[in-house]
């Protein structure tokens, strides 16, 4: 398998491709980026980010709709600023993410606040900023939000996130719409809870929300959930409760290995058909599908370690940089950055962390030598945002490539900075 075979479908061409045996991103050679910024580093393509967002906009042309980027997928200010300039809204799950959106130039009036554990301080922060809507996920949260809004003398715009109990057919860790999941309010309880919300003096009912999971490859479960939501909206109207918007979440998957996710227009078609002829504005909250295949993790080989039963490639990236393989046993394609000149072997690609679970890829055929560079593909989503400082490892640098320019959008951490706020006992 050649490098070109491996990257086929992983990033939109010509964003990432091989030129004279060297991988380039938007025309910039990855070895030059490694020389300039060091490794490990996350490298993102602005062209890929833009193309992904515009595919949602084009699929929704002619509909009243708002595309809210799910900040948890990748919260770097550089990436947020790209989407803000494209007119995106934002889906947040913490006060910290709200602060990031505003710092990146995002508009609070296009922010929806999801999540099951919003604190009083986060509610105050969001109300003072003037966010578009709170996606409320429990009866207790509804009462708390009413109280906080009353203290501030404002009305809190709310939508209930309903749990339709639909199987999204994805990894159980990223399934969010079944009865046993922690997210949302039970579908059977939603109508009564809307009546309660309507009676609370400091709330303004704005919409309804539903999100059943992530890395979805089949639109059928989402369309099933949409049908259930539409029926509930009609029953609410019979109660005199009218809604401004219907939030159908995100979740569209990407290709990591051999998946065949639908294009955005095909994914949305059955959902849009459900709401044909209705007046409510539709919200969508894509994350992975906007950033996942717009980024890669660039890493350098420290050692080759042959073994009796396994061969190991030991790289300078680790599970603290990219947790998905250890957490989900997730697959990321691994590509030689420079065309190999040696014989290939089967390796596990592992990092230096003191855990047997510290692997980035298993049983990959690679032709490599010590000091070579590897690109770990499809790493733009849930890479840097899930990273840590385990083993006192500074987190990676982040770079956005824009045409012929590379922009450092997060400097590599220093070890000194990791414990600057700590003090030894005297």
Angle in degrees, CA 38, 42, 48, rounded to 5: 130
Tokens standing for residue 29? 């050679």
Report helix, strand or coil for 267: helix
Q: Is 278 annotated in some ligand binding site?
A: no
Q: Is 69 annotated in some ligand binding site?
A: no
Residue 162 DSSP code: E
Q: Is 285 annotated in some ligand binding site?
A: yes
Q: Using CB atoms within 10 Å of the CB of residue 281, give its burial: 0 to 12 exposed, 13 to 18 middle, 19+ buried.
A: middle
Catalytic residue among 68, 133, 210, 354, which?
A: 354
DSSP-assigned letters across all residues of 132-159: SEEEE-SHHHHHHHHHHHHHHT-PEEEE
Residue 114 parent element (H or E) = none
Between CA 161 and CA 168 the distance in angstroms is 16
Q: Is 153 annotated in some ligand binding site?
A: no
Q: Report how far Cα 313 is from the mean position of its chain's Cα atoms.
A: 28
The answer for residues whose C-beta is within 8 angstroms of residue 218's C-beta and 6 or more apart is 169, 262
Q: Is 413 annotated in some ligand binding site?
A: no
Between CA 83 and CA 78 the distance in angstroms is 9
- In angstroms, the Cα distances linking 112 to 25, 28, 132, 408 are 33, 36, 6, 29
Q: Report how far Cα 235 is from the mean position of its chain's Cα atoms.
A: 33
Tokens standing for residue 85? 């300039």
267: closest CA among 231, 221, 331? 221
Between CA 314 and CA 77 the distance in angstroms is 31
The answer for residues whose C-beta is within 8 angstroms of residue 98's C-beta and 6 or more apart is 92, 108, 111, 113, 122, 125, 126, 129, 131
Tokens standing for residue 338? 């420079």
- 210 has catalytic annotation: no
Residue 31 parent element (H or E) = helix 30-37
Question: Can you say which residues are annotated as belonging to the binding site for pyridoxal 5'-phosphate?
Answer: 251, 285-288, 382
Question: Can you say which residues are annotated as belonging to the binding site?
Answer: 251, 285-288, 324, 328, 355, 382
Question: Can you say which residues are annotated as belonging to the binding site for substrate?
Answer: 288, 324, 328, 355, 382
Q: Which residues are catalytic?
A: 354
């Amino acid at each position: 398998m050649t490098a070109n075979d491996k990257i086929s479908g992983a990033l939109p061409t010509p964003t990432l491709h091989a030129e004279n045996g060297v991988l380039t991103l938007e025309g910039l050679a990855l070895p030059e980026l490694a020389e300039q910024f060091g490794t490990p580093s996350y490298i993102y393509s602005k062209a890929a980010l833009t193309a992904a967002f515009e595919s949602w906009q084009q699929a929704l042309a002619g509909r009243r709709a708002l595309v809210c980027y799910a900040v948890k997928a990748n919260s770097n200010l550089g990436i947020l600023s790209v989407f803000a300039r494209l007119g995106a809204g934002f889906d947040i799950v913490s006060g910290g993410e709200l602060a990031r959106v505003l710092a990146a130039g995002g508009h609070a009036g296009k922010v929806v606040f999801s999540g099951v554990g919003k604190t009083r301080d986060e509610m105050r922060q969001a109300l003072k900023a003037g966010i578009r809507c709170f996606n409320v996920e429990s009866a207790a949260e509804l009462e708390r939000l009413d109280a906080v809004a009353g203290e501030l003398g404002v009305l809190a715009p709310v939508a209930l996130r309903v749990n339709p109990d639909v199987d999204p057919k994805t990894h159980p860790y990223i399934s969010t719409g079944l009865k046993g999941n922690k997210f949302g309010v039970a579908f059977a309880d939603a109508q009564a809870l809307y009546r309660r919300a309507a009676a609370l003096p400091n709330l303004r009912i704005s919409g309804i929300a539903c999100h059943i999971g992530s890395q979805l490859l089949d639109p059928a479960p989402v369309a099933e959930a949409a049908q259930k939501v539409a029926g509930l909206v009609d029953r609410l109207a019979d109660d005199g409760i009218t809604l401004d918007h219907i939030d159908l979440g995100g979740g569209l998957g990407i290709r990591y290995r051999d998946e065949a996710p639908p294009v955005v227009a095909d994914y949305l078609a059955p959902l849009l058909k459900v709401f044909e002829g209705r007046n409510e504005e539709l919200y969508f909250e894509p994350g992975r599908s906007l950033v996942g295949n717009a980024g890669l993790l660039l890493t350098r080989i420290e050692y080759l370690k042959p073994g009796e039963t396994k061969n190991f490639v030991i790289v300078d990236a680790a599970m603290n940089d990219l947790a998905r393989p250890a957490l989900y046993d997730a697959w990321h394609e691994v590509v030689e950055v420079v065309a190999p000149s040696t014989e290939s072997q089967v390796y596990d690609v592992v990092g230096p962390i003191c855990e047997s679970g510290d692997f980035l890829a298993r049983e990959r055929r690679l032709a490599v030598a010590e000091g070579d560079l590897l690109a770990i593909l499809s790493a733009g989503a849930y890479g840097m945002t899930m990273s840590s400082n385990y083993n006192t490892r500074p987190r990676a640098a982040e770079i956005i490539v824009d045409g012929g320019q590379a922009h450092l959008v997060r400097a590599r951490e220093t070890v000194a900075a990791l414990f600057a706020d700590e003090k030894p006992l005297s």
